[in-house]
Amino acid sequence: MKKIIILLFFFASSFYAQETKTETRATTILKHLKNPSKDYILAVSHRGDWRYAPENSLPAIQRCIDLGVDIVEIDVRLTKDGHMILMHDKTVDRTTNGKGKVSNFTLAEIKQLRLKNACGVKGSIHQVPTLKEVMELAKDKILINLDKVEGETVKEAYEILKETGTIKQAIFKGRKTAKYMLDKYGDLMREIIYMPILIDNVTDAKKYVEEYSNTISPFAYEVTFPSTDSNNFKQIKYLNAKNITVLTIPLWDDLTAGHADEKVITEGPDAVWGWLINNGTNAIMTDRTAMLMEYLRSKNLHD
């Protein structure tokens, strides 16, 4: 009997060790996203840490991984020959040494371009990455927030995630209604992580949230609000009560009622990030990645 107990203990210990081994940084972040807490605020970097390396570049994403950031927001567009590459604008003009629409370039032509830095200076050695390259870099380490995919290229992005084994590391998002997304993508909407955006084009915020809650049941929303009187802002309390993650994006004043990243410099982080947290934010997207990480850790709100 004693031998049986020892064997059972051995197998149980081995099973626990295997389970623990499969826990990656990415799965831990996903748990935080699904279970928002006042004690842990998710840090989201806008286009990667573009103050360190060109926006939407592999080094900018690697920098976020090194800093311990939870999620990187990137922009994805299709090339002429159907490849998904990282680019915010419809053209390559602002961020590379080339000119023209992304949709007029093949991937091979895109790879001949070189990215500019944040000041628009040419001469970088960095290429425009593909979504596949990004997901391979991010695998097991960080979550990726897909912008510009919205209701257009969900299927194309999903195929890349499936190929790289990173379906649970990518957050799709968009402004479309629940009905639109379900009509267009059907059961696929239940396989991906989808985050609706409450933004200025949503005329009835309460109805928008209710329709999603009754169908897809998202565990996170991106919420923007030009003032605290807006209906979008009023939905934050409801989302908090339902234990749903609220991501706010203080990139400029109209997105967070005047509490924008730039005011961190003049008024201090408590007046911006602290105010957002006190008003129901569980995740913050920033253009000042290193500063946000330092602030959250100083408040014991991040590892």
Tens-digit pLDDT profile for residues 272-297: 999 999 999 999 999 999 999 999 99
Q: Break the chain into its structural domains and give their ranges.
A: 26-74+140-298
pLDDT tens string 93-119: 999 999 999 999 999 999 999 999 888
> Can you tell me the mean pLDDT for 39-47?
98
In the structure, what pLDDT confidence band is assigned to residue 164 with cuts at 50, 70 and 90? Answer: very high
Whether residue 1 is predicted with pLDDT greater than 80 in this model: the reply is: no
The DSSP-derived string for the chain is -HHHHHHHHHHHHHHHHHHHHT--HHHHHHHHHHS-BTTB-EEEEETS-TTTS-TTSHHHHHHHHHHT-SEEEEEEEE-TTS-EEE-SSSBSTTTBS--SBGGGS-HHHHTT--B--TT------PPPPBHHHHHHHHTTT-EEEEES-TTTSHHHHHHHHHHHT-GGGEEEEESS-HHHHHHHHGGGGGTSEEEEEE-TT-S-HHHHHHHHHTTT--SEEEE-BSSTTSHHHHHHHHHHHTT-EEEE-TTSGGGBTT--TTHHHHH-GGGTHHHHHHTT-SEEEES-HHHHHHHHHHTT---
Q: What pLDDT is attached to residue 38?
A: 93
Give the pLDDT band of residue 21 (cuts 50, 70, 90): low
> Which pLDDT value is given to residue 15?
42
Q: How high is the pLDDT of residue 22?
A: 75
Summarize the confidence of residues 242-262 as an average pLDDT. Answer: 98
Task: Please give the CATH topology (third level) of the domain spanning 26-74+140-298.
Answer: TIM Barrel (3.20.20)
Per-residue pLDDT at 155: 96
What pLDDT shows up at residue 10? 45
Across the chain, mean pLDDT equals 93
